[in-house]
Amino acid sequence: MEYNYGNLIKIERMRRNMKQSVLARGVCSISYLSKIENNQTTPSEEVLEMIFKRLEIDVPLYYDFSEQVEKVKYEIQGLLKEAILSRKDWDRQKEVEKYLLNPVVNQSKELYVTLLLALARFEMMPGREGKYFKEIGWIEDQLDRDDLLRYGLMRCLKLFNENEKEEGLELLEQLNEQLATSGISDWEVADMSYIMGGLYYRCADYLQAVENVKVGLEYFQDHFYLERIVECHLIIGLAHKRRKRFTEALSYYQRAVKVISATDLKNYNGMLYNNMGEVYSSLGDQEKALEYFMRSFEYKQEVKSKLFSVLSLIEGYTNYDNSTEILNWLEKGYELKGDKEGLEEFDHHFEIYKNCYQEQDKIKLIGTLKKAVQYFELYDDYVYIEKYALWLARELRENGKYKLATEYYEKVIAIRSQAD
């Protein structure tokens, strides 16, 4: 078996923020250490022992682990697959992390990369640290084509989360072209396609969003991964809704309802009912829309999620010009929000309706609409950019500011043409 200690040495050194010159001192030259770390040479056992001792890591040097490599790789990938497809990831992540101390992993470059990629994939879940993703970046030049695709998708997600959408979209396009001809297993292609569909949705490329998510949906349906099926129906429904294909959107939401009704996945009902309410509102059935918005509010538990239902109810009652109910839900919204952090966007939403229906101050309304458009442009939130830009354009036109109104109408047209 060919031992590959280079990745292990490089990563352990960088974890300790240790320079090559410090690690190499009294052991070997810096250039020789660099070759070891890049797997360009096989060092002697004596050199390895001194390096390991300085790094304070204990890895057996003489035992042949070749027969165990495939077994361990199968175990790691199996745990990852179960976690990703079943959404039961916390416990599985802890199980996978135990392999960091496995001597088999530490003597196989392929296995070590497999482990890092698996741990980095867990970090794509919300609220996780990104230390393993960072470590893969240190050895990016040593990844094979399939592993580069896996790492590329993680990079893409990171770029989108940092609002670097232009660079993220360029990378996403490359991944979209290459994934179909990769050697990546079907289950992982399904998961990656689902994620890519979600990213295309964030770019307002709804056609690509639907196409990619459908790849995942086909696999999840064939293998009865019910939660993933619901997630796919939701995103496809959202994409159709944004393209004004309301009948198609409603059909996917109804499919999700059917799956949920046969399971314990009731936590999706809040989001699902809110989106169904928006579709019914767009179809002109305001009574049914309000019914679903209310059901959504009752199902939801998390504050931010409930606030979106409050906002939908406020918007719903504007269709009836029902000031009493608008102000009633506006008060509930402010009460729910309180002084909690991370909910700044609702300041913009609520101030608009406050100035329109409570203060009834057109000048303040125009000012808050401008601020809202600027705020949502920072986050490329096309839904609210379009909504508030259109509202603002109409207010400006009524105030005789036709040139400025035209600028905001043009924003709306640009967004709608992109969606088509």
For 226, the token pair is 């019910």
First and final C-alpha spacing in the chain: 56
Q: What is the DSSP letter of 61?
A: S
pLDDT at residue 62 greater than cutoff 50: no
Average pLDDT over residues 1-12: 70
pLDDT category at 216 given cuts 50, 70, 90 is very high
* Long-range contacts at 294-297 (CB < 8 A, ≥ 24 apart): 295/269, 296/269, 296/270, 296/271, 296/272, 297/270
User: Sign of torsion, CA 399 404 409 412?
Assistant: negative
Q: Residue 25: which of 52, 51, 62, 61 has the closest Cα?
A: 51
pLDDT of residue 100: 85
> For the segment 64-89, what is each residue's pLDDT rounded down to a tens digit?
556 678 888 899 999 999 989 988 76
Q: How far is Cα 35 from Cα 43, in angstroms, rounded to an integer?
A: 9
pLDDT of residue 16: 85
Q: How far is Cα 3 from Cα 108, in angstroms, rounded to an integer?
A: 6
Look at residue 108 and give its three-state secondary structure.
Answer: coil
For 414, the token pair is 């640009």
Average pLDDT over residues 313-326: 94
| Cα–Cα–Cα angle for 94, 99, 103, rounded to 5 degrees | 160
Greater model confidence, 155 or 5: 155
Least confident of 11-25, 248-262, 273-287: 11-25
Query: Could you give the C-alpha distances from 226 to 211, 257, 294, in angstroms and in order?
Result: 19, 12, 26
pLDDT at residue 236 greater than cutoff 70: yes
Least confident of 106-110, 194-198, 278-282: 106-110
Average pLDDT over residues 292-309: 95
Q: How many CA atoms lie within 13 A of 71 on its CB side?
A: 6
Single-letter amino acid code for the residue at 131: K
Query: Could you give the C-alpha distances from 158 to 93, 123, 199, 382, in angstroms and in order?
Result: 20, 11, 11, 20
Greater model confidence, 104 or 326: 326
> For the segment 345-394, what is each residue's pLDDT rounded down to a tens digit?
999 999 999 999 999 999 999 999 999 999 999 988 888 999 999 999 99
pLDDT of residue 92: 82
pLDDT category at 126 given cuts 50, 70, 90 is low
pLDDT at residue 33 greater than cutoff 70: yes
Q: How far is Cα 15 from Cα 17, in angstroms, rounded to an integer?
A: 5
Average pLDDT over residues 301-316: 95
| Sole residue written with tokens 């009902």 | 269
Give the count of beta carbons closer than 10 Å to the beta carbon of residue 392: 26
Q: How far is Cα 209 from Cα 202, in angstroms, rounded to an integer?
A: 9
